Structure formats: structure tokens, C-alpha cells
Amino acid sequence: MSGRLARKSAAWLVNVAIAITALRTNLMRSILTTLGVMIGVFAVTLAVAVGSGAQVSVMQSINALGSNMALIFPEPDNEGGRTSFDRGRLTMRDARAIQKQVSGITDIAPQLRTSIQLVVAGRNATTTGIGATPGYAKVTNAAAESGRFISDADVRSAARVVVLGPSVATKLFGDYDPIGETVRINRAPFTVIGVMESKGSSFGNDNDDLAIMPISTTRQRFSGDSLAGPDDLQILFVGFEDGVSLPRAKREITRLLRERYRVRGKEINPFTIRTTEEFMKESAQVTGIFQIVLVAIASISLLVGGIGIMNIMLVSVTERTREIGLRMALGAKRSDIRNQFLVEAAVLCVIGGAIGLALAVAAGTALTIYADFPVPIGIGVGIGAIVFSAVIGLLFGGYPAVRASRLSPIEALRSE
């Protein structure tokens, strides 16, 4: 049994050697033929990696908000295609009621958001100003890398203090420690009390480009007439303990707010509730479709490359008809001729696939470094690309190989 296996292995190695010799004989034609497969493998591999990177980036964006939470917006719910032009409402009183009456909550993070300009020593930065409470850090898994976060005392006194995101701190202070320094926010002086830990970026959005202030200070100095009431909110984050069912929590919050706003029957909710679980499912679906479309488009180039392989192999069979007849006359079986051309097509495709994979890895690395977009190409993807290349060679080289094996030895020897 082992001797038979050794003989078969030796026969395949001989076919590989013959294939490499044949490819070297027509080097330029071989290079041009592999271009189609190379471009196809490059496109498909990169498409798969970009799709995976999009999923990773979306998950990073969601995790930057917070992992296990619900987001409540003061906007009429348009679920089911219904719309309403009535203004929604969400207040601090609603937030406190949710915290007291809904089970499994770790903390809440009521917020006001506005665009602000910070100026210090001739440097300026325009960023998103977030008016928040101390619960913001717990709900969003954020923390101050240096200094401290805003406190309850800051909120009660409407203190003019600010915690900077790393990107804003770098723009304004460079490598200098900003703790205790004064910055002017929309011309009002604020004291820097902390710098947040970096959360990086995702989908080109800088998660560190923000400045956090006490919600009371933001309401007094920056909200203006944008809010309908004195305790209105623009968004509310509600964090939950691990293991809490977010769909159940959403139903509880919906029921509570409907009671508070006296919403009856099928009337539209004056608020919208989304959970991170919903964001993840929807994002996975969208990025999945995106990846399928990318791979489908890229596969067209691989199909064209396979057709090119078939065409060149047919030409090769025609050119080497006399060689085929001579081998048959010397005792080669039809299976030997067939395997010879199959191996030649597979080797041609594997070489093109390897080059395409190398180019895809280089392109993915460049995107990761310069575009800050993750493009993961793992070992599994690399092995899959090489194996798929060989399969393409076997599929598209099959017809020319079978055609070569069916040639009549006498007719083949007569060929000029």
C-alpha cells in the first residue's frame, strides 16, 4: 500500500516538474495568463477582508458607545413606516423614573450635545461638546486617563470644567499636560480637569474628538433655545448589568414612558428606543450584504481569469499535439496525459493566486496603516485563496486536459 502511494506521489511530482518546465518555456505567455487569476484572487481576497473589516469597525463603533445599553431619543417612533411631525419629549424626570422603576440598570447617562469651539494660546479646535453626568463614564466604559471625570458636585454647581478627548487635548496642548489649564469654550473660560482614555477611531470617525462638560453647565451656556423645556434631554443612555435581556428592558422602558406621556392604544410613541443588540444585528446584516456584493463583483475578474486559463491551455494542447502522441506511443495512459495538463493549469493558477494574495496583503496593510480601516487577512483566508486558485485551475483546465487525453496517438504523431 505504501509503495503504491509512493509511486503515485512520484508521478504527481513528475507532472509538476513537467508543468514548471512547460511554463518556463513560454514564460511571457505564462506571465500574461496568470495576470487574470492574480487580479481575480487579489480582488476577491481584498473584498472578503474589507467586508470583515467593516464588521470589525462597526463593532468598534458600537462598543465605543457602550456594550450593554439602550439609547433613548426624544423623537417620534416611526416603527412600521408610520411618521409624525410632532416634537418628541424626553426629560431628566423621565430619566430618573427609568432608573428607579426599570430593573437591572447599572446607571444612566442623560446628555446634551452641541458643537463647540475651544481656544487656548492661539490654538483652536472645533469639536462635539457633550453635557453629561458622572454616569456617562460608567455607561460608556469610559475613564479619565489623567486627571478626573466630572463629579456630582460639578453638576450641582454648574461648574465651568471640561474633560477633553485625547484628540482635542493633542490639538490644543500637544505633548503638554493640560490638567489645570484654562481653555475658552465659545469665549467662556473653562478649567481642564481630565483627559479621557483613547477609544481610537472607526469608519473614519474619531471617537476621541470630544469634550465633556457638566450637563447643567451645557444647559445654561450652550443650549440656548434648542430645548423646549428646562430639563429636556437630547439623548439618554441606559446601561444594564451583564445578562439582562435588552428586549425585555426595552419593553419595560417603553411601557413606563407610554404611561408617563399617556400614549393610548396604537398612538405613536413620542420617543424612540434602540439597543446596542439591535445595532449589532442590523450592522451585521448590512455589512454581510455589503461583503456579498463586493465578492460577487470581484468574482467576475476571477471568472475572466479562469476563461483565460482555459483558452491558453487549449492553445497549449494544439501546440503540443506531437508531444502528446509521442508520450502515448511510449506507453503513457490517457489518465497520465490528462493529469499532466490538469497539473499544469493548477500550477499556473496557484502561482497567480500566490502573487494576488501577496498584493492583497500589501493593500490591506496599507489601508490599515494609512486609512485607519481594519482589513484583516488571516491565515485561513490566505490558505483558502491558494486552494481556491488550484480549484480554478482544475475546473477551467479540465476541458483542455480531457481533450488532450482523447487524442488519437497516430493522428497526434502525424501532426506537424
Side-chain-side CA neighbours of residue 11 (13 Å): 14
pLDDT by residue, tens only, the chain of 416 residues: 566 666 666 666 766 777 777 777 777 887 888 888 898 889 888 888 888 887 777 777 776 666 688 999 988 876 544 444 455 789 999 999 999 999 999 999 999 999 999 999 889 999 999 999 999 999 988 889 999 999 999 999 999 999 999 999 999 998 899 999 999 998 899 999 999 998 877 656 788 899 999 999 999 888 755 666 788 899 999 999 988 899 999 999 999 999 998 888 788 888 899 998 888 888 888 888 888 888 888 888 888 888 888 888 888 888 878 887 887 887 778 887 888 888 888 888 888 889 999 999 999 888 888 877 778 888 888 888 888 888 888 888 888 888 888 887 777 666 65
| Structural domain containing residue 379 | 7-61+282-414
Total tally of structural domains belonging to the chain: 2
Domain identity same for 386 and 336: yes
Residues sharing a CB contact under 8 Å with residue 134, sequence separation 6 or more, in sequence order:
149, 150, 151, 152, 155
C-alpha distances (whole Å) from 265 to each of 76, 98, 206, 258, 262 are: 15, 21, 42, 10, 10
CA distance 397 to 280: 43
CA distance 15 to 56: 43
Of 244, 271, 301, at which residue does a domain stop? 244
Domain identity same for 216 and 349: no
Cell of 106: 447599572
Of 244, 273, 292, at which residue does a domain stop? 244
Domain identity same for 221 and 122: yes
